Structure 1
Amino acid sequence: MSRRSDTIDFWRGLVLVTITVNHIPGNGLEHLTHRNVGFSDAAEAFVFISGLALAIIYGPRIARDGIGPAARRNLTRAGALYRTHLALTAFALVSFAALYVLTGHEELLSAHGRAPAFEATPEALVGLAALTYQIGYFNVLPLYVVLMLVAPAYFLVARRLGTAVMLAVALAVYLAGRTLPIEPPSWPEGAGGWFFDPSTWQFLFALGIAAGLHWRGAAPQRSSVVVGACAGIVALAWIVVTDAFGALPGLRGDVMPWLDLGKNQLGIGRIVHFAALAYLLVALRVADAVGRGPIGAELTRLGRHGLPVFVAGSMLAALGQALTIIAAEGRLDGVQVIAMLYTLASIGFLVLLVRVREWSSPVSTAAAQPEPARLHLASAPVPVSSRTVSSRAVSSRSSRPPRS
């Protein structure tokens, strides 16, 4: 087996850290993440690299063994993600409930869609099992369950009819999701649908699959014209989001409503910005430069253990959210400093976690990336865990509220 791609692991690790930072409100570090300088954020990266990594892992195997074995693995993975989602949501709800008992702060029970769990518990439990009830910051795994289930169909279409036809199918589903009421419902809240609409977000996943199948571990051919266009898009987004770096107050509010940037149904503006940013990172070989340093090495290590890091990061983020609520309602001084220190400690814990895992099971670090060479595709991570001798590939908010 050939070595897995350090490049994919690097970007996956970076996005997992970014998600952890963004899910602990008010920590100061969240202002340094790329959602503050553009129209997309870690969620787009998270989904794209899921499809990319699956294609690189399973593309050659499907060509050799057919779609059956891959479909069975994806079904197993979807079941594992479903169980993980239930466990994580239960952990979050119990944590917030326990801290409410200790402090009496009611926001712990009501913020980010948690109220139904405590006000309509029977309905919420049924909704949780049916994936129709999702609390804030814990609603990306239901999307991944769906993506894992539809992935074999996309691989089958790509194999028999080509990646262009597969993308055409994904685009048709995306357009249907934008125009027809096919979004999975949100219940028992009864307002709207899932925070991440699978019918639209699957398009970004399909783009990742197409990229993985088309380039097969090699970088896309660099074009100075495309690099220039992508740089222009990224620069314009940065100008808009920052009100021209403070020179044009109100620019963001005037322009963004016209750009189709909705997160729930994956606005076109988000797709364009993410695609431009991803291509730019690939073309400039950012991972090759940054990934060689000590920080890059730690991010790569985090990326090799996608699911454990995602789970641990989600748990730490839930506790961080609760602690910031308690600190804010208790009118403690230095809430932002407390949140920042907690966030840094959480990142340190994640680094320690993967080091312990690799120390206790060295074989798990000798992951495999099917097919050729080292991958230079730079995009963004998702918990598709390292393919190892013993571990599986796996795949990051509220019924409506916050962003991932």
Structure 2
Amino acid sequence: MSAPSPDQSSVNAPAPNAPAPGQPGPNAPRSVRDHRIDALRGVALLMMFVDHIPQSLLNRFTMRNVGFADAAEIFVLLAGYASWLAYGRGFRKYGVVECLKRIARRCVQLYIGQTIMVVVSVFSIRIWRHYTPVPVDFLEPELAHGLSWVWRVMMFDALPSNLNILPLYIILLGGFPLFYGLMRIHRSLALLLSGAVWMLVNLDPDVNLPNWLDPDGWYFNPFAWQFLFALGATASAETERRGADFPRVRLMVVCCVLYLLFSAFQAFPWTLWGLPDLRPFGSMIMPEKSWLSPLRLLDVMAIFYLVQSSAKARTWAAESRMGRLLARVGRHSLEIFVVGTLLDLYARLLFSTFGDGWLLQIVVNLAGLGILFSLADWLDGYRKRQRAAQAA
């Protein structure tokens, strides 16, 4: 899973000739939105929608089948990238107090989205099971009866399955001012401290926040995933400082491609497709997602570098029809994420009740994707009308 982008997350390509870290040059032209971030975030959102329906045949074709990382890593990395653009520059532009208010406002929006998903999910399953049996894994037993769970869920002491990404994002965004302060002292120091915490969790996975519903704690361990968020913010700050994309270094490109090929062969479900097992290391255990194992981290960073250093990717995202459609989805990530998560729930209920035949597969997937694209289109038009009204 993944988390929505911050408000005012105009993912822009910064102005050239920036004289100092985070300080654009005095004669810099107006920045132009970089649609690659939006498009990549849109891809992640749609893959999360597909991945969270286990019975859907489409989830055999998402990136988790051809690599160690999946849409969750992509989304958290981009959340950090967009957070710097929305708030890292906001501290300088609007001042500390105003920017803290903006961060708090966004956290409240995320909290409302989490509340909507939890309430709708729990009571939808409770109502559905009155008419037909529902598999026990749809709802934790602690949530199946009464209302004693409410305060735990609202205080993030209990995180239901498939509803655990927004709490992570709220913590990461809430901690962004601290990371920004460290960045102002020294960028390398901020990244070093963040990486040290991540390494600590990889050495001792018990370092985690408690979860009433899971003795292992939070599935997305925030002490580990904060490093991916920090890497995204640092990459955004570095791009702003340079005033240009990451340099397209041939050796780096070759290394990234070779690593992604290795991860694809190692992670591909060969037996699921009835194919010979071509994994280079057959007995290797898949890298752990909960505490963001190094192999997963390298996977998502390789993808990010290849995209962000590619001028062709920038052009495709800005000018192609598919790129623009995906960017539109990515620009409204909170709304798309909330609606997509609830659509996942109803799709799973439909498949468990009526089977997962071809006809229902087609209807569910086409309807779900159609709703998400239509919602993104409507939200985009609504935002444009708002801006036009404000300008008038």
Question: What is the TM-score with the length of structure 1 in the denominator?
Answer: 0.81
| 1:311 to 2:333 alignment | no
Matched with 2:381 is 359
Higher relative contact order (CA 8 A, sep 6+): 1
Q: Deviations over 1:27-65 (max 9, x none)?
A: 211112111100000000010000101112223332345
Q: 1:111 to 1:355 in 2, by over 3 A?
A: same
Give 1:247 deviation, angstroms: 6.4
CA distance in 2, matches of 1:30, 1:365: 37
1:256 aligned to 274, 284, 287, which one?
A: 284
| 1:158 to 2:183 alignment | yes
Q: 1:27 to 1:312 in 2, by over 3 A?
A: same
Q: Deviations over 1:224-282 (max 9, x none)?
A: 0110000110011111123779765273773431x6x1111111110011111221223
Matched with 2:82 is 53
CA distance in 2, matches of 1:212, 1:12: 15
User: Amino acid of the residue matched to residue 98 of structure 1?
Assistant: I
Q: 1:243 to 1:144 in 2, by over 3 A?
A: closer
Give 1:348 deviation, angstroms: 0.7
Counterparts of 1:143-292 in structure 2, within 5 Å, are 143-161=168-186, 163-180=187-204, 181-187=206-212, 189-216=213-240, 218-242=244-268, 248-249=276-277, 251=279, 254-257=282-285, 261-284=287-310, 285-289=312-316, 292=319
User: Amino acid of the residue matched to residue 8 of structure 1?
Assistant: I
CA contact (8 A) 1:358 1:364 kept: no
CA contact (8 A) 1:195 1:264 kept: yes
User: Amino acid of the residue matched to residue 119 of structure 2?
Assistant: A
Matched with 1:29 is 58
CA distance in 2, matches of 1:99, 1:308: 24
Matched with 2:159 is 134
CA distance in 1, matches of 2:308, 2:32: 20
CA contact (8 A) 2:339 2:372 kept: yes
Higher mean C-alpha displacement, 110-119 vs 242-251: 242-251
Matched with 1:62 is 91
Q: 1:50 to 1:153 in 2, by over 3 A?
A: same
User: Amino acid of the residue matched to residue 143 of structure 1?
Assistant: L
CA distance in 1, matches of 2:308, 2:383: 32
Give 1:3 deviation, angstroms: 4.9
1:95 aligned to 124, 127, 135, which one?
A: 124
Give 1:208 deviation, angstroms: 0.4
User: Amino acid of the residue matched to residue 36 of structure 1?
Assistant: N
CA contact (8 A) 1:26 1:336 kept: no
CA contact (8 A) 2:328 2:376 kept: yes
CA distance in 2, matches of 1:146, 1:13: 22
Secondary structure of 1:102's counterpart equals coil
CA contact (8 A) 1:157 1:166 kept: yes
CA contact (8 A) 2:182 2:189 kept: yes
User: Amino acid of the residue matched to residue 343 of structure 1?
Assistant: N
Give 1:2 deviation, angstroms: 4.9
Give 1:283 deviation, angstroms: 3.2
CA contact (8 A) 1:11 1:303 kept: yes
CA contact (8 A) 2:343 2:368 kept: yes
User: Amino acid of the residue matched to residue 283 of structure 1?
Assistant: S
1:341 aligned to 363, 374, 391, which one?
A: 363
Secondary structure of 2:69's counterpart equals coil
CA distance in 2, matches of 1:359, 1:60: 26
CA contact (8 A) 1:40 1:273 kept: yes
User: Amino acid of the residue matched to residue 111 of structure 1?
Assistant: D
CA distance in 1, matches of 2:280, 2:58: 22
CA RMSD of aligned residues (A): 2.6
CA contact (8 A) 2:172 2:229 kept: yes
Sequence identity (%): 26
Question: What is the TM-score with the length of structure 2 in the denominator?
Answer: 0.83
Give 1:146 deviation, angstroms: 0.5
Unaligned runs of 5+ in 1: 329-333, 367-387, 391-404
CA distance in 2, matches of 1:313, 1:11: 17
Q: 1:287 to 1:342 in 2, by over 3 A?
A: farther
CA distance in 1, matches of 2:183, 2:209: 26
Q: 1:49 to 1:190 in 2, by over 3 A?
A: closer
CA contact (8 A) 2:42 2:333 kept: yes
Higher mean C-alpha displacement, 191-200 vs 68-77: 68-77
CA contact (8 A) 2:317 2:327 kept: no
| 1:117 to 2:143 alignment | yes
Q: 1:290 to 1:68 in 2, by over 3 A?
A: closer
